[in-house]
Amino acid sequence: MPTETFEFQVEARQLLQLMIHSVYSNKDVFLRELISNASDALDKLRLEKLRDDALDADVSDLHIAIDIDKEARTLTVRDNGIGMSYEEVGRLIGTIANSGTATFLQELREAKDGAGAEGLIGQFGVGFYSGFMAADEVTLTTRRAGEDRGTRWTSRGEATYTLQSVEDAPQGTSVTLHLKPADPENQLHDYTSPWTVKEIVKRYSDFITWPIRTVPEAAEGAEAPEPETLNSMKALWARSREEVSDDEYHELYKHISHDWREPLETIRLQAEGTFEYQALLFVPAQAPHDLFTREYRRGVQLYVKRVFIMDDCEELLPPYLRFVKGVVDAQDLSLNVSREILQQDRHIRMMQRRLTKKVLSTVKDFMAKDAERYATFWREFGAVVKEGLITDSDNREAILAVASFASTRADDEPTTVAQYVERMKDGQDDIYYITGDSRQAVENSPHMEAFRDRGIEVLLLTDPVDEVWVDAVGEHAGKRLRSVTKGELDLDAEDGEQAGEEREKQAEEYAGLLGWMGERLEEDIKEVRLSTRLTVSAACVVSDAQDLTPALEHMYRAMGQ
């Protein structure tokens, strides 16, 4: 087959340009990305072989090798893992599947400073392309396990890449970087130095569970030494807390989440007893772009006795904790466990309950001990966590305890519902809230006038999910959650009897006007009432207590219902 030349997809080309004119201050990370891909490929092969014994693949010495050629100035990262077919190389390496990429590139153009760009780029799987930070040409040769022929991919990171079918490729993938000319100013980035490579591997990839080997530099005149394994290969979740540095945890996080930032928190859990498992969970520092889209891949990695079983195992955490990343390693599951089994397994359900509680209690700890961390958490993930108020009735109280809301009491100091209840005035029976699109919109609502006037605190709820959970939850500590825009408000009960008499008199006085207005507006409204809620505005529209609020009506309409 002849060599075919293809054009990169537009987004891919843009990302490549970013890599080449490196937006990262730290180029070393390309090695981590290539090793991460190699490790995934080995995991996949082991698993495929486990599922299909007939697969014609050699799994006797699965490993990663790093070869350095000083003369040619090349660095090669090799694995004997699953490899890719011709079609897969074109699809996986030539395009960017991530749907958020367009949005991302847009934002990247808007983020003028380099630091902002680095933060943004971290959210996208640009792993393989990062090789172009260090190389001016990249060659990838691969053969899928079980297939005869291999494929060679080459590119200079410009508009095109070539694909070629090759005969003699070994099983797995090798990626060769033709390194950019040496920078005499910067010895640190000499990737032809085995010492440099070793340092980078130890720093970023020590926890990789496959051996990463390289041949050390030969002493003058001596024979080539034996390959050396650079990483300790110890599963971080199986080691005690004292043994592992925060940096090591963070590198594992980056490997599994494809996020380039540090996580907000690392959560360890060791469950002993009849069903033993270890979990290492991470709360990211920032919500990914696609958290609210259908494409978002949620779930943690599942291992069974140190053997990788699957990515994105959804069964271990509920959807409202879908931003949590991590690893769960169970001792007593079958290596052949399938999604169908997972969905029904009693132990899995127990694990989910335990992990959920652990995450929620971690958030509670933030709240008690680290206000800033809590604020970051809630800003990034609050809107997701609140879904749990609707879907997880078992943990409703625990979720409500860590939920905070803007309120009319203070501009920038959110409150929990429990704190609100503590502050309630004598005679106030309900927890008042208003929902809407933005803080400004709800604060300017005429419905707020009476509350402002009487100094009654109102929760300001501006996430779409707020409309739904307030109904699902209904009350807290015996106090009803009530929308200020719904139904009759008895604010005057608090104003005393005199006000009541006053109202009756007014009602008689205005009966004629109200009747007339009611007739004129018959088509559009149910009833015209005298109101005590307004102090400045002349009139406002109010829903019945059981009606949808305007924002919810809007949401359902937008959904086509």
Q: Which parts of this chain interact with ligand ADP (CB under 6 A)?
A: 33, 37-38, 41, 79, 81-84, 92-93, 125, 127-128, 173, 258
| Residue 123 interface partner, choices ligand ADP, Mg ion, none, CB cut-off 5-8 Å depending on type | none
Closer to ligand ADP by CB, 48 or 495: give it.
48
Q: How far is CA 455 from CA 68, 419, 449, 481, in A?
A: 73, 16, 10, 18
- Count of residues near Mg ion by CB under 5 A: 3
End-to-end CA distance of the chain: 54
Q: Is 173 annotated as a binding residue?
A: yes
Give 140's contacts (C-beta < 8 A, 6+ positions apart).
89, 93, 152, 153, 154, 173, 174, 175, 176
Q: Is 11 annotated as a binding residue?
A: no
Residues 48 and 82 sit within 8 Å (Cβ to Cβ): yes
Interaction of residue 130 with Mg ion, rule CB under 5 A: no
* Helical axes 101-110 vs 10-20, angle rounded to 10°: 40
Question: How many angstroms from the chain centroid is the CA of residue 162?
Answer: 34
| Residue 150 interface partner, choices ligand ADP, Mg ion, none, CB cut-off 5-8 Å depending on type | none
Q: Is 496 annotated as a binding residue?
A: no
Give 125's contacts (C-beta < 8 A, 6+ positions apart).
96, 98, 258
Q: Is 124 annotated as a binding residue?
A: yes
Where does this chain touch Mg ion (CB under 5 A) — which range of 119-127, 189-197, 209-217, 550-558? 119-127
Closer to ligand ADP by CB, 41 or 133: give it.
41
| Residue 92 interface partner, choices Mg ion, ligand ADP, none, CB cut-off 5-8 Å depending on type | ligand ADP
Looking at this protein, which amino acid is placed at residue 450? A
* Helical axes 101-110 vs 114-121, angle rounded to 10°: 170
Interaction of residue 92 with Mg ion, rule CB under 5 A: no
Alpha-carbon distance of 553 to 561, in angstroms, equals 9
Identified binder of Mg ion from the candidate list 90, 127, 319, 464, rule CB under 5 A: 127
Q: Is 339 annotated as a binding residue?
A: yes
Q: Is 248 annotated as a binding residue?
A: no
DSSP string, 321-344: GTT-EEEEEESSS-TT--HHHHHH
Q: Is 37 annotated as a binding residue?
A: yes
Where does this chain touch Mg ion (CB under 5 A) — which range of 37-45, 133-141, 245-253, 417-425? 37-45
Please report which helix (H) or strand (E) contains residue 460, including its range: strand 459-461
Closer to Mg ion by CB, 37 or 174: give it.
37
Residue of closest CB approach to ligand ADP: 127
Plot region of 249 (φ>0 → left; ψ -120 to 50 → alpha; else → beta) = alpha
Residue of closest CB approach to Mg ion: 127
Identified binder of Mg ion from the candidate list 37, 231, 395, 404, rule CB under 5 A: 37
User: Which positions make up the binding site for ATP?
Assistant: 33, 37, 79, 84, 99-100, 123-128, 173, 339
- Sites of contact with Mg ion (CB under 5 A): 36-37, 127
